[in-house]
Amino acid sequence: MNSERVSVPHVLLGLLAAGPRHGYELKRAHDERLPQARPLAYGQVYASLGRLQRDGLVVAAGQEREGGPDRTAYALTDEGRAALNRWLAETELPMPYVSSTLFAKVAVALLVDDVDRTRSYLAAQRQAHTARLRELTAAKTALSASLDDVVAADYAIAHLDADLRWLQTTLDRVADWHREVHS
């Protein structure tokens, strides 16, 4: 789907907006609030916190005895809050590049003369997309689903739905084009 990189430091700033937290709490909060995102690695959390601290956006807020970063709670500074607000106010460039592997494969497949292989790739890809769509729909309609779960599933479902429509439209378009050229 979308291979756009998410700014982990900004997400961490957002998670700290409610009050100081430890690194492991941040990881847990991240995975909970962004349930369909790739889970954060601890290393990534501490590396990002280190950079945020260096830039003065967070400060260590009390340490339990001595110890490493896992013993430290971090708090947002005023500059941190300002950086978070700037990030939230900034409009994202809508699709500056079309960077999906699905798109690239279909574009390349249309150039390649191996029709059978292309067909079986597309059929398999469609099946995989549909299966994932069913899985996400089941997850979000489960009685136990939280609002976070539903919102995350909605996002993924909307994109899979768009991919499937685009795939079908492209095939129909190519078939149409082919008919015109050869009639």
Partner 1 sequence: MTYLQARGVVRSYGPTPALRGVNLDIAEGEVVAVTGPSGGGKSTLLHCLAGILRPDAGEVRWRGERIDTWSEAARSRLRRSTFGVLFQFGQLVAELTAAENVALPLLLAGTGRREARTAALTWLERLGVADLADNRPGEMSGGQQQRCATARALVTEPRVLFADEPTGALDTLTGEQVLTSLVRLAREQGTSVVLVTHEPRIAGYADREVVLRDGVVDHGGLGLETPLAGGRR
Footprint of partner 1 on this chain (CB under 8 A)? 109-115, 118-119, 122-123, 126-127, 129-130, 133-134, 136-137, 141, 157-158, 160-161, 164-165, 167-168, 171-172, 174-175, 177-178, 181-182
The distance of closest approach from Cβ of residue 14 to partner 1 in the complex, given in angstroms and rounded to an integer, is 26
Q: Closest distance between partner 1 and the C-beta of residue 98, in Å?
A: 20
The number of beta carbons lying within 10 Å of the beta carbon of residue 12 is: 28
C-alpha to C-alpha distance for 79 and 85, rounded to whole angstroms: 10
Closer CB to partner 1, 4 or 114, in the complex: 114
Shortest distance (Å) from residue 3 CB to partner 1: 21
Q: Are strands 58-63 and 72-76 parallel, antiparallel or unpaired?
A: antiparallel
Closer of 102 and 167 to partner 1 (Cβ): 167
In angstroms, the CA 29 to CA 12 distance is 9
3-state class of 74 per DSSP? Answer: strand
Of 15 and 136, CB closest to partner 1: 136
Q: Return the number of the residue (51 or 126) whose C-beta is nearest partner 1.
A: 126
Q: Which is nearer to partner 1, 41 or 174 (CB)?
A: 174
Spatial separation of the C-alpha atoms in residues 129 and 127, rounded to whole Å:
5
Q: Map tokens 């967070």 to a residue.
A: 58
Q: How far apart, in whole angstroms, are the C-alpha atoms of residue 173 and residue 168?
A: 8
- Name the minimum Å distance from CB 182 to partner 1: 6
Sheet containing 21-22: order of strands = 21-22, 72-76, 58-63
At closest approach, how far in Å is the CB of 75 from partner 1? Answer: 38
